[in-house]
Amino acid sequence: MLELNATTLAFFVFAILSVGGALGVVTSRNLIHGAVYLIISLFGGAGFFILLSAPFLAAVQVLVYIGAIAILIIFAVMLTRSMTNMAEVVNRQWWLSALVGALLLLMLAVGVIFPVWGDGGLLPNQPVSDQVATTDELGTAFVGGEDYVLPFEVASLLLTGAMIGAIVLARDTEA
Amino acid sequence: MEQACINPIDTLAACLISAGATAELASFVQILIGVVLISAFPLVLVILLIWVERKVAARVQDRLGPNRVGPFGLLQNVADAVKLILKEDITPAGADRLIYNAAPIIAVLSVLLIWAVVPFSPAHIGADLSIGLLYFVAISSIGTLAIMMAGWASNNKYALLGAFRVVAQLVSYEVPMVVALLIPVLLAGTLSMQSLVRAQIGMWFIVPCLVSAIIFYISNLAETGRAPFDLIEAESELVAGYNIEYSGMKFGLFMANEFMHAFTANLLFAVLFLGGWSGPGAEQYPLLGFVYLMLKTGVVYIFSLILRATVPRVRIDHMMAFNWKFLVPVSIINLLIAALLIQITRLLGIAPAPGETDFLAHVPQAFILLLGNLALIGGILQALRSSGRRDRLAEQARTHGDETAIIPVGSGD
Amino acid sequence: MTVPLWMYLLVSAAVFCIGVYGVLSRRNAVAILMSLELMLSAVNINLIAFWRYGAPSDITGQVFASFVFVIAAAEAAVGLAIIIAVYRSRGSVVVEDVNLLRG
Amino acid sequence: MSLVNEWAFIGVFVAVAWVLPALPLVVARIFQPRKPNAIKMQTYECGVETVGDTWVQFKVQYYIYGLIFLVFDIELIFLFPWAMAYNRLDFFAFGAGFLFIFLLADALIYAWRKNALEWA
């Protein structure tokens, strides 16, 4: 059984944050509340990244998701006045969707996660080593050799395309 | 490190362990004391800061400033705080109570959290995270969120409109700020705040990164909502901005947050560009390093106060144009120039070795980078002059008709 | 490290499935987009957990997570822009009301 | 201090530091007079009662600024590791970084040319 120490305690706090926040996102009637729940859930994710020795990605998660995407979502909610006065939050097949989600989770848990990585499973469920790559190795991976230099540039191209496309779409065409 | 021995908190932890406590408990107590000290310090400091600000503004405007309560009016802010506590605070009808009440706390927390990674001296830092600088940028974005929450939860058009403007301002000025921060990282090769300060022992980053220091300073003024970018409280346009519905101590928290944030921004400027705690003797006597840091911060802070008292507020469209059409392009060009020059100095073999603390070893690279920066500043000034002249001539031609559009010789600049 | 890998995978799977439910059931397009972001974030937790437990000395896991961030951001930017454009022409963000292909 | 200990500090900080700003609010709650009434609780609007919904429609320009900000924010994921590793890399790294930034600058120039940066 798990021993209770700071790491496991932090894990459970983050697990509650991310799952609870996720439930809030899909159930809240008010979309701004939904955005706040999304932020809570993403904070839980950032906590996991810290526990998993990837603090750089944790900071990026806060910066990108919480600092930028959440702000963008709130702007969009305001722009489309879609926050309130929506009589029905979910569509008619919502129970079907819930069934699909629950079955998927069951299938993943019973069919994949426990047999393979559970206690006594096929593969080890503890880290193979504590030699963790650092953030500057990430930079070396991107531009140090040929490995990821093409994806690195393509990412830039993708962002440029997304930005131009989004500006074209979002602006008033007649203006 | 031998300085750690004189750290009273470490001594206390050692005492606890010798008294029979477990190592976990001792380190927890150690962390707890550190947290309380670091988070309480700015909150106490802010009372003094508001006094300094009011005194400086008064001196610039040929007034006396607060001078009734206590010696030199020092207790004026304590009296103000007591007043704010005794005041009824009103939660407007239709407000979203939970978010409305959480917003000021989150706003203050977002500034306090920055102090956790500020290196006060070689031996004193809350947490020397390996990604300290990125942590600072990430935490700043939470402050933006707090303002958005405050504006939305108030259920007031003006508050919401004010919040939107502020958020647009904050996210816009974050772009040049972060691009400017990349250049010290290029030089130091690390994101840890303590290592960034150590990299400046030989040469302060303001010399090789002059342009990025200026960009960082300007965008920090905007990030903290200080004059001339204080549109957050544009009384004449938006009544008061996002915090209009807040009263009593909740308003007080927003105000304290603003002053604290301004000081924190100047503190970070001193840490990142003015060498932080570094100075003669700082390694031997960590407390001296703290004094150096506070002195450097004080100079920058007073400068921003004088700036506040002298410059008029800019209009929001001008402010946005200044950011997107001036600061962002300049910061990008500056980044490319710095990256190129650093690579060239390395090819020439005159770049200092990593961890070099000797001043002279840093001179050649810093000199070349400074030259690049000065050339960039010269180019910008020239471009501004010619574009300003073009606009002026176009304006003249439009208002005076054709015959005065002929420029008299020699009046062109 | 005392938390076994399956616990991370389970949490990430749970968040992912909640996201699936949100995408399938919500009527508001912005809410659907938020659920999509949840799914992407769950994917990232999964990636990083596998990286940390499987090959922590190799940076590849973090590289892939970075690209997931890029995809998430591009998706949010373009998706929200499409929603705003549709709202402007149709005056609605309810996905059932908006069917451009059917006219 | 080890890596985990550093983050434990941040964790305790988040858990404890919010008490400090919350404290004056609690103290104020105890001491302040509380006499709410309907007129006092009205939202503030130049002395007149609020007309209509608070959620008036906003300019799309806010979204555009947020969008450009998002794109530049994402760029940081790549540029911060690039800058950290820069001292150990050769001219190829400069070229790669240059191309990366140039592509992004392209997007900014496009927005500028299309007047998407105007506040109007």
Q: Report domain extents, chain A.
A: 1-89, 92-124, 133-175
Instruction: Report whether pLDDT(B262) > 70.
Output: yes
Q: What b/e sequence results for B235-274 when a residue is b if at least 16 CB atoms lie within 10 Å of its CB, and e otherwise? A: eeebbbbbbbbbbbbbbbbbbbbbbbbbbbbbbbbbbbbb
Q: Is residue B409 domain-resident? A: no
Instruction: Report whether pLDDT(A67) > 70.
Output: yes
Confidence tier at B357 by pLDDT (50, 70, 90) = confident
- Whether chains B and C touch (3+ CB pairs under 8 A) is answered by no
Do B96 and B215 reside in the same domain of the chain?
A: yes
Report how far Cα B376 is from the mean position of its chain's Cα atoms: 24
Chain D nearest-CA residue for C88: D60
Residue D104 to residues A157, A170, B349, Cα–Cα distance (Å): 7, 19, 31
* Region of residue B303 (left: phi > 0; alpha: psi -120 to 50; beta: else): alpha
What is the reported pLDDT for B411? 46
What is the reported pLDDT for D1? 36
Burial of B120 (0-12, 13-18, 19+ CB in 10 A): buried
- Alpha-carbon distance of B157 to B163, in angstroms, equals 10
The neighbour count for residue B381, using CB atoms within 10 Å, is 10
Report the percent of chain B where pLDDT is more than 90: 28
Mean pLDDT by 10 residues, chain C (103 residues): 82 94 88 92 92 85 90 91 85 71 53
Report the gap between the CA of D77 and the closest CA in chain C (Å).
7
What is the reported pLDDT for B4? 43
Q: Identify the CATH number of the domain in which residue C18 sits.
A: 1.10.287.3510
Q: Between A2 and B308, name the one with better pLDDT.
A: B308
Do B313 and B346 reside in the same domain of the chain?
A: yes
Q: Does D70 touch chain C (CB under 8 A)?
A: yes
- Alpha-carbon distance of A168 to A162, in angstroms, equals 10
Instruction: Report whether pLDDT(B233) > 80.
Output: no
Hey, are the CB atoms on D54 and B155 less than 8 Å from each other?
yes
Q: Between C97 and B52, name the one with better pLDDT.
A: B52
Within 13 Å and on the Cβ side, how many CA atoms surround A42? 32
For the stretch B281-320, pLDDT in tens is 888 888 888 999 999 999 999 999 988 888 888 888 888 8
Q: Which DSSP symbol is given to D87? A: G
Peptide bond preceding B228 in cis form (omega within 30 of 0): yes
Report the SS3 class of residue B235: helix
User: Which domain does B3 fall in, by range?
Assistant: 1-86
Burial of A66 (0-12, 13-18, 19+ CB in 10 A): buried
Do B361 and B215 reside in the same domain of the chain?
A: yes
The topology (CATH level 3) of A1-89 is Four Helix Bundle (Hemerythrin (Met), subunit A) (1.20.120)
Do B258 and B137 reside in the same domain of the chain?
A: yes
Q: Is residue C85 domain-resident? A: yes
What is the reported pLDDT for A107? 86
- Alpha-carbon distance of B93 to B404, in angstroms, equals 61
Residue with tokens 């040049």: B176
DSSP string, A84-136: S--S-SB-TTHHHHHHHHHHHHHIIIIIIIHHHHSTT-SS--S-S-S----HH
Q: Is residue B127 domain-resident? A: yes
Residue B305 to residues A43, B293, B377, Cα–Cα distance (Å): 36, 18, 25
Do B18 and B146 reside in the same domain of the chain?
A: no
Chain C residues whose beta carbon lies within 8 Å of the beta carbon of residue A161: 74
Mutate to test the interface with A, among C80, C82, C94 (most CBs of A within 10 A): C80
Task: Number of A to D CB contacts under 8 A, please give it.
Answer: 143
Q: Are D56 and A78 in contact (CB under 8 A)?
A: no
Report the gap between the CA of A5 and the closest CA in chain C (Å).
9
Give the number of residues written for chain C: 103
Q: Does A157 touch chain D (CB under 8 A)?
A: yes
Q: Is residue C96 domain-resident? A: no
Instruction: Report whether pLDDT(D3) > 50.
Output: no
Q: What is the pTM of this model?
A: 0.89
Report the SS3 class of residue C89: helix
What is the reported pLDDT for D56? 55
Mean pLDDT of B215-243: 77
Residue with tokens 């070893």: B361
Residue with tokens 């006092």: D40
DSSP string, B256-300: HHHHHHHHHHHHHHHHHHS-TT-STTTTT-HHHHHHHHHHHHHHH
Do B267 and B350 reside in the same domain of the chain?
A: yes
CA torsion, ordered B176, B180, D9, B4, to nearest 10 deg: -160
Hey, are the CB atoms on B145 and A62 less than 8 Å from each other?
no
Residue with tokens 């609780």: D41
What is the reported pLDDT for B112? 92
Q: Does D26 touch chain B (CB under 8 A)?
A: no
In this complex, which of C69, C77, C80 lies closest to D77 when CB atoms are compared? Answer: C69
Q: Does D72 touch chain B (CB under 8 A)?
A: yes
Closest listed residue to residue B199, CA positions, set B38, B351, B375: B351
Give the number of residues written for chain A: 175
First CA to last CA distance, chain A: 64
What is the reported pLDDT for B1? 36
Hey, are the CB atoms on C66 and D77 less than 8 Å from each other?
yes
What is the reported pLDDT for B239? 60
Number of domain units in chain B: 2
Radius of gyration of chain A (CA): 21
Domain extent listing, chain D:
3-113
Report the gap between the CA of B412 and the closest CA in chain A (Å).
37
Q: Is residue C100 domain-resident? A: no
Hey, are the CB atoms on D93 and A10 less than 8 Å from each other?
no
Q: Identity (one letter) of the amino acid at B325?
A: K
What is the reported pLDDT for B232? 67
In this complex, which of B129, B144, B160 lies closest to A71 when CB atoms are compared? Answer: B144
Q: Read off φ and ψ for residue B183, nearest 5 degrees.
A: -75, -45
First CA to last CA distance, chain D: 52
Mean pLDDT of A120-145: 78
Mean pLDDT of D91-118: 87
Task: Number of C to D CB contacts under 8 A, please give it.
Answer: 19
Number of domain units in chain C: 1
What is the reported pLDDT for B5? 42
Confidence tier at D17 by pLDDT (50, 70, 90) = confident
- Give alpha helix (H) positions in B154-285: 157-188, 193-198, 210-223, 235-238, 248-273
What is the reported pLDDT for D44? 64
Q: Residue C26 pairs with which residues in a beta bridge?
A: A90
Q: Does A43 touch chain C (CB under 8 A)?
A: no
Task: Number of B to D CB contacts under 8 A, please give it.
Answer: 218
Report the gap between the CA of B319 and the closest CA in chain D (Å).
9
- Alpha-carbon distance of B194 to B177, in angstroms, equals 20
Hey, are the CB atoms on A50 and D99 less than 8 Å from each other?
no
Residue A6 to residues A9, B236, C50, D3, D15, Cα–Cα distance (Å): 5, 51, 22, 14, 13
Q: CATH classification of D3-113 is 2.40.100.10, yes or no?
A: no
- Alpha-carbon distance of B395 to B383, in angstroms, equals 18
Confidence tier at A43 by pLDDT (50, 70, 90) = very high
Instruction: Report whether pLDDT(B403) > 70.
Output: no
- Give alpha helix (H) positions in B311-350: 316-322, 328-348
- Whether chains B and A touch (3+ CB pairs under 8 A) is answered by yes
Residue with tokens 């006060």: B120
Q: Does C56 touch chain A (CB under 8 A)?
A: yes
Do B104 and B245 reside in the same domain of the chain?
A: yes
Chain D residues whose beta carbon lies within 8 Å of the beta carbon of residue B244: 44
Report the gap between the CA of A150 and the closest CA in chain C (Å).
12
Residue with tokens 């402007």: C88
What is the reported pLDDT for A24? 93
Report the SS3 class of residue C17: helix
Q: Are B371 and B209 in contact (CB under 8 A)?
A: no
- Alpha-carbon distance of C6 to C31, in angstroms, equals 29
CA C69, C71, C74: angle at the middle one, nearest 5? 110
Do B45 and B134 reside in the same domain of the chain?
A: no
Confidence tier at A93 by pLDDT (50, 70, 90) = confident
Q: Is residue C101 domain-resident? A: no
Chain A residues whose beta carbon lies within 8 Å of the beta carbon of residue B189: 136
- Alpha-carbon distance of B343 to D89, in angstroms, equals 9
Q: Between D55 and B379, name the one with better pLDDT.
A: B379
- Alpha-carbon distance of A21 to B70, in angstroms, equals 50
Structure tokens at A168: 């074209």
- Alpha-carbon distance of B407 to B397, in angstroms, equals 10
Report the SS3 class of residue A5: coil
Radius of gyration of chain D (CA): 25
Residue B386 to residues A110, B376, B390, Cα–Cα distance (Å): 71, 15, 6
Do B79 and B120 reside in the same domain of the chain?
A: no
For the ranges A138-147, B369-378, D103-112, the lowest mean pLDDT is seen at: A138-147
Task: Tell me how many helices (H) and strands (E) chain A has.
Answer: 8, 0
For the ranges B52-61, B404-413, C53-62, the lowest mean pLDDT is seen at: B404-413
